[in-house]
């Protein structure tokens, strides 16, 4: 993997930061994109995960350097949807990968939540599911000689015995 | 990052001869290979992808969602790996999905494990539209039972939307607070619901670890709890003697002067062609890959493609068009994680003509996913408002209702060979033409109206309703349909090609109608039924000598 410094120049990184701040400026309770390092450490993390974004981001950074940020963003949005999507994936992806941002959202990532094998499902305990059973079959059948189960609708068996047993 | 497939075995050791040659190592190919190898057949399978290292799955890491938008995207055009093939989908309202690897699309599937309903096999008889299958639910039921065991389905028997069936081998996954809240609302409405049946281990099962509910099933299960067939079937198939060749792109099914299949020509990773001779050939390359290969296998005897005297190879492509409703509630339900579909409702599955259409829809309830799943519209460019506000209001506080419509067969929805694009081996790419029917659109529209009733019952504080989802081509069905009449079908009731007695098509191509449920359990059951019959009748099959 190439060193991060080889990927984009400091000027290109600054250009991307400026553009990203247009999408994610500082608010009362959230940092701006540049404040969480969108042009620096977050950019490196994004490119480590998505090396395919390097070329479009360089092109976008170079375009930004030739004009102002708002015009560049408007150009992307209106006329270059693929590049705009790449830019959005970088900015939004990089932003929500930030530990600072995740902390502010109280989001710990897609954490493991091992199953409690001893937990009795609430829907069995309170008989919510039993009421579905009690309403009877709702499927149709077309096999010769069979009765539509919705019309026969026998009273269903209880889903389970006494949970205390 | 996924690695390019290696030539495995090395080229010099490629098998050159088989009793049964299988093309494709996904769900149907794996089921067939395992069963046939265990019955003593000399099985060879050709797979264009490679083995996936489950350690490459990133779902549990901060960059997992970002990686999933490229390397583990289900759209081969997005991944654009050298071992994928491009799909020309410019004339398709739905972009086809697939994954090319040992395990096929089970690597990325959601593992929702549902049977078709009895009425799905009798659409013409019951509703006067489309076609009946030549088999019934009862014909397939024993095979559903077996694949439930083999894949390790987690669920609960007694669902009144189905005929009685035994308990799945594993208890259901927890439905979580989201499922319980949705269930309470459905209960208040008096509507059907049931805990989801998933091919995800809720307990340790046959060497698989149980699910830890990260909610990343569709980007690859690093736990190995999800039943991808690289875990559930291939180790057993290989132990029983099956030989699996990776990095092998099949270019053509070969035939002899009698019109019998004799094997296949495939290209290795270096582009060099090889030939495998076989007594019987099974196609298991999915509802796009299989017709593509049949259409590419042209000869003097089969000038319009193999097994295509009906003209139906590639025709009648069916998807499962769907809409989604992100349901936002007033409490933290912890919904960024969990697994599979928490619960389903088949309240509106069966036909009720008073609704103005035939057939129906499946409702499924899912966790919200992480920030990028919630910010999907922002990523696609429809940036409205501050994405942070949007994510904050929904992360952990929302869940997704997905409404999946039954798609009816239409011969104008089709897979053809593209005249310009090809894959790395020079094999023509498939060109897909697909437009949803008025009936399908009506199913979705009516169900969305019912979803608004649900939103009120669940006390939703907000909701994001999607248009019909374009990135929805998970289920590729119907392009080599089953039937008794060779003039109106491609394969018979045992998945044998009418035109080529020793050629079987065992993937989703053989579906006559699509139903509205996730098809993997049915694909697996049909494949098992087909090879069970092949095993019982092997001496009666005409094969090349």
Give pLDDT tens digits for B149-205. Answer: 999 999 999 999 999 999 999 999 999 999 999 999 999 999 999 999 999 999 999
Q: Does A132 reach chain B within 8 Å, measured CB to CB? A: yes
* Interface probe, candidates B167, B185, B371, chain A, greatest A C-beta count within 10 A: B371
Question: What tokens does B16 get?
Answer: 């050159």
Global confidence as pTM: 0.95
- Taking the C-alpha atoms of residue B225 and residue B248, their distance in angstroms, rounded to an integer, is 28
pLDDT at A159: 55
pLDDT category at B66 given cuts 50, 70, 90 is very high
Instruction: Please answer whether residues A18 and A61 qualify as being in contact, where contact means their C-beta atoms are separated by less than 8 angstroms.
Output: no
pLDDT category at B53 given cuts 50, 70, 90 is very high
Note the ipTM here. 0.92
Residues in chain A within 8 Å Cβ distance of B380? 85, 88
The arithmetic mean of pLDDT across residues A28-50, rounded, is: 97
pLDDT at B545: 46
- Taking the C-alpha atoms of residue B450 and residue B443, their distance in angstroms, rounded to an integer, is 11
pLDDT at B401: 97
**Choice among A34-48, B230-244, B373-387 with the minimum mean pLDDT:** B373-387
pLDDT at A158: 52
pLDDT at B380: 75
Write down the residue that tokens 């408007």 correspond to.
Answer: A74
Q: Does A121 reach chain B within 8 Å, measured CB to CB? A: yes
State how beta strands B503-505 and B273-283 pair: parallel
Q: What is the DSSP string of B369-382?
A: --HHHHTHHHHTT-
**Choice among B2-11, B245-254, B527-536 with the minimum mean pLDDT:** B2-11
- Taking the C-alpha atoms of residue B49 and residue B44, their distance in angstroms, rounded to an integer, is 15
| CA-atom Rg of chain A in angstroms | 28
The arithmetic mean of pLDDT across residues B459-473, rounded, is: 90
Q: Which ranges in B115-245 belong to alpha helices (H)?
A: 123-127, 137-151, 176-189, 229-232, 234-239
Write down the residue that tokens 């952990």 correspond to.
Answer: B396
pLDDT greater than 50 at residue B146: yes
Closest CA to B481 of B458, B497, B503: B497
Do the Cβ atoms of B63 and A49 come within 8 Å? yes
The arithmetic mean of pLDDT across residues B216-236, rounded, is: 96
Q: Please give the interface size between A and B, counted as residue pairs whose CB atoms are below 8 Å apart.
A: 180
Q: Does B375 reach chain A within 8 Å, measured CB to CB? A: yes
- Taking the C-alpha atoms of residue A28 and residue B8, their distance in angstroms, rounded to an integer, is 57
CB nearest A110 (choices: B59, B184, B192): B59
Across chain B, mean pLDDT equals: 94
Q: Report percent pLDDT > 70 for chain A.
A: 84
pLDDT greater than 70 at residue A6: no
Run of H or E residues at A84 = helix A81-97
**Choice among A44-48, A155-159, B296-300 with the minimum mean pLDDT:** A155-159
Distances in Å between the alpha carbon of B426 and those of B98, B120, B284?
20, 39, 21
Question: What tokens does B224 get?
Answer: 């190995």
Do the Cβ atoms of A123 and B195 come within 8 Å? yes
Instruction: Please answer whether residues B364 and B404 qualify as being in contact, where contact means their C-beta atoms are separated by less than 8 angstroms.
Output: yes
CB nearest A156 (choices: B160, B338, B349): B160
Do the Cβ atoms of A45 and B63 come within 8 Å? yes
Do the Cβ atoms of B214 and A112 come within 8 Å? yes
Nearest chain B Cα distance for residue A119, angstroms:
9
pLDDT category at A161 given cuts 50, 70, 90 is very low
Query: CA nearest A43 in B: which residue?
Result: B63
Over residues A15-25, the pLDDT tens digits come to 999 999 999 99
Do the Cβ atoms of A128 and B173 come within 8 Å? no
Instruction: Please answer whether residues B465 and B382 qualify as being in contact, where contact means their C-beta atoms are separated by less than 8 angstroms.
Output: no
- Taking the C-alpha atoms of residue B120 and residue B136, their distance in angstroms, rounded to an integer, is 9
pLDDT at B385: 82
pLDDT category at B243 given cuts 50, 70, 90 is very high
pLDDT at B39: 96
The arithmetic mean of pLDDT across residues B56-74, rounded, is: 94
- Taking the C-alpha atoms of residue B527 and residue B540, their distance in angstroms, rounded to an integer, is 19
Query: In chain B, which among 138-157 make CB contacts under 8 A with chain A?
Result: 138, 156
Closest CA to B49 of B250, B280, B272: B250
pLDDT greater than 70 at residue B542: no
Question: What tokens does B8 get?
Answer: 């495995």
Over residues B124-145, the pLDDT tens digits come to 999 999 999 999 999 999 999 9
pLDDT category at B540 given cuts 50, 70, 90 is low
Instruction: Please answer whether residues B107 and B474 qualify as being in contact, where contact means their C-beta atoms are separated by less than 8 angstroms.
Output: no
pLDDT category at B539 given cuts 50, 70, 90 is low
Closest CA to B226 of B154, B121, B174: B154
- Taking the C-alpha atoms of residue B191 and residue B177, their distance in angstroms, rounded to an integer, is 19
Helix (H, G, I), strand (E, B) or coil at B88: strand
- Taking the C-alpha atoms of residue B360 and residue B405, their distance in angstroms, rounded to an integer, is 6
CB nearest B62 (choices: A97, A116, A159): A97
| Residues whose CB is less than 8 angstroms from the CB of residue B481 and which lie 6 or more positions away in sequence, other chains included | B131, B312, B316, B409, B489, B490, B491, B509, B510, B511, B512
pLDDT category at B475 given cuts 50, 70, 90 is very high
pLDDT greater than 50 at residue A1: no
Question: What tokens does A12 get?
Answer: 């290109």
CB nearest B388 (choices: A24, A88, A138): A24
Q: Report percent pLDDT > 70 for chain B.
A: 97
Residues in chain B within 8 Å Cβ distance of A46? 63, 66
pLDDT category at A164 given cuts 50, 70, 90 is very low
CB-based burial label for A30 (10 Å; 0-12, 13-18, 19+): buried
Distances in Å between the alpha carbon of B388 and those of A20, A24, A33, A42, B504?
13, 8, 11, 17, 52
Across chain A, mean pLDDT equals: 87
Q: What is the DSSP string of A5-72?
A: HHHS-HHHHHHHHHHHHHHS---SSS--TGGGTTTTHHHHHHHHH-GGGHHHHHHHHHHHHHS-HHHH
- Taking the C-alpha atoms of residue A18 and residue B159, their distance in angstroms, rounded to an integer, is 56
| Residues whose CB is less than 8 angstroms from the CB of residue A90 and which lie 6 or more positions away in sequence, other chains included | A16, A20, A43, A46, A50, A53, A57
User: Would you say how long chain A is, in residues?
Assistant: 165
pLDDT greater than 50 at residue B499: yes
- Taking the C-alpha atoms of residue B397 and residue B403, their distance in angstroms, rounded to an integer, is 20
Query: In chain A, which among 13-32 make CB contacts under 8 A with chain B?
Result: 23-24, 27, 30
Do the Cβ atoms of A156 and B371 come within 8 Å? no
pLDDT greater than 90 at residue A165: no
pLDDT category at A86 given cuts 50, 70, 90 is very high
């Amino acid at each position: 993997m190439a060193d991060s410094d080889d990927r984009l120049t400091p000027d290109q990184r600054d250009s991307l930061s400026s553009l990203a701040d247009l999408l994610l400026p500082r608010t009362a309770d959230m940092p701006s994109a540049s404040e969480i390092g969108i042009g620096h450490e977050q950019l490196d993390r994004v490119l480590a995960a998505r090396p395919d974004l390097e070329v479009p981001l360089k092109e976008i950074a170079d375009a930004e350097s030739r004009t102002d940020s708002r015009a560049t963003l408007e150009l992307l949005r209106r006329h270059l949807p693929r590049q705009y999507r790449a830019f959005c994936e970088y900015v939004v992806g990089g932003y929500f990968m930030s530990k600072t941002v995740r902390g502010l959202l109280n989001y710990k990532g897609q954490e493991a939540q091992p199953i409690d094998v001893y937990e009795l499902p609430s829907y069995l305990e309170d008989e919510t599911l039993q009421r579905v059973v009690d309403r009877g079959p709702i499927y149709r059948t077309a096999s010769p000689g069979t009765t539509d189960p919705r019309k026969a609708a026998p009273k269903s068996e209880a889903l389970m015995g006494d949970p205390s047993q | 990052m996924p690695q390019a497939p290696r030539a495995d075995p090395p080229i010099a050791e490629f098998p050159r001869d088989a009793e049964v040659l299988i093309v494709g190592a996904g769900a149907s190919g794996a089921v067939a290979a395992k069963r046939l190898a265990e019955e003593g057949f000399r099985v060879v399978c050709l797979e264009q992808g490679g083995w996936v290292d489950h350690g490459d799955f990133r779902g549990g890491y901060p960059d997992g969602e970002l990686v999933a938008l490229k390397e583990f995207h289900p759209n081969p055009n997005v991944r654009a790996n050298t071992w994928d093939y491009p799909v020309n989908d410019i004339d398709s309202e739905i972009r086809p999905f697939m994954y090319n690897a040992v395990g096929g699309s089970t690597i990325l599937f959601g593992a929702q494990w549902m049977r078709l309903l009895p009425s799905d096999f009798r659409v013409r008889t019951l509703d006067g539209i489309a076609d009946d299958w030549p088999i019934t639910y009862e014909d397939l039921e024993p095979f559903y039972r077996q694949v439930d065991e083999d894949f390790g389905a987690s669920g609960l028997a007694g669902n009144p939307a189905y005929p009685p069936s035994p308990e799945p081998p594993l208890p259901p996954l927890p439905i979580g607070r989201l499922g319980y809240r949705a269930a309470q609302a459905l209960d208040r409405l008096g509507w059907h619901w049931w805990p989801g049946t998933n091919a995800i281990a809720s307990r340790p099962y046959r060497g698989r670890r149980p699910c830890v509910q990260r909610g990343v099933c569709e980007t690859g299960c690093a736990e190995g709890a999800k039943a991808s067939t690289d875990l559930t079937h291939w180790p057993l198939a290989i132990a029983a003697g099956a030989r699996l060749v990776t990095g092998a792109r099949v270019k053509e099914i070969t035939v002899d002067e009698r019109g019998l299949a004799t094997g296949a020509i495939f290209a290795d990773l270096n582009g060099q062609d090889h030939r495998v001779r076989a007594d019987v050939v099974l196609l298991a390359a999915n509802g796009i890959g299989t017709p593509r290969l049949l259409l590419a296998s042209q000869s003097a005897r089969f000038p319009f493609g193999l097994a295509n005297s009906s003209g139906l190879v590639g025709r009648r492509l069916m998807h499962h068009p769907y809409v989604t409703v992100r349901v936002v509630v007033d409490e933290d339900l912890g919904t960024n994680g969990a697994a599979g579909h928490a619960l389903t409702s088949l309240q509106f599955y069966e036909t009720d003509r008073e609704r103005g259409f035939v057939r129906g829809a499946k409702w499924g309830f899912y966790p919200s996913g992480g920030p990028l799943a919630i910010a999907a519209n922002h990523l696609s460019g429809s940036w409205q408002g501050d994405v942070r506000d949007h994510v904050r209001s929904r992360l952990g506080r929302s869940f997704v209702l997905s409404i999946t419509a039954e798609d009816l067969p239409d011969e104008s929805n089709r897979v053809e060979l593209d005249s310009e694009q090809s894959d790395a081996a020079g094999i023509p790419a498939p060109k897909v033409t697909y437009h949803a029917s008025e009936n399908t659109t009506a199913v979705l529209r009516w169900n969305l109206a019912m979803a608004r009733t649900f939103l009120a019952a669940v006390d939703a504080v907000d909701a994001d309703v999607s248009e019909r989802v374009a990135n929805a081509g998970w289920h590729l069905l119907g392009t080599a349909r089953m039937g008794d009449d060779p003039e109106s079908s491609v394969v018979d009731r045992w998945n044998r090609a009418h035109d080529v007695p020793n050629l079987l098509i065992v993937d989703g191509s053989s579906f006559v109608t699509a139903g509205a449920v996730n098809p993997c359990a049915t694909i697996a059951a049909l494949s098992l039924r087909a090879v069970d019959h092949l095993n019982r009748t092997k001496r009666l099959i005409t094969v090349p000598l």
